[in-house]
Amino acid sequence: RSIGRKARAALEELLDEPVYVELWVKVRPDWRDKERDLREFGYL
């Protein structure tokens, strides 16, 4: 949620008008158990 709020605030400041931001989150199965995924996401 905070990502959406921050993105909306930045866009509204840039465009000087209200905007609507819709976000989708895609999750890889078992990403917490895969070292490669953890490295790619910046956790290692």
Two tokens at 41?
């996401």
Place of tokens 């976000």: 23
Q: What is the pLDDT of residue 1?
A: 83
pLDDT score for 42: 94
Tokens of 14: 């840039």
User: CB–CB of 7/21 below 8 Å?
Assistant: yes
pLDDT of 43 reads: 93
Question: Chain centroid to CA 38: how far?
Answer: 16
| Euclidean distance between CA atoms 15 and 9, whole angstroms | 10
- Report pLDDT digits (tens) over 1-44: 899 999 999 999 999 999 999 999 989 999 999 999 999 999 99
Q: What is the pTM of this model?
A: 0.58
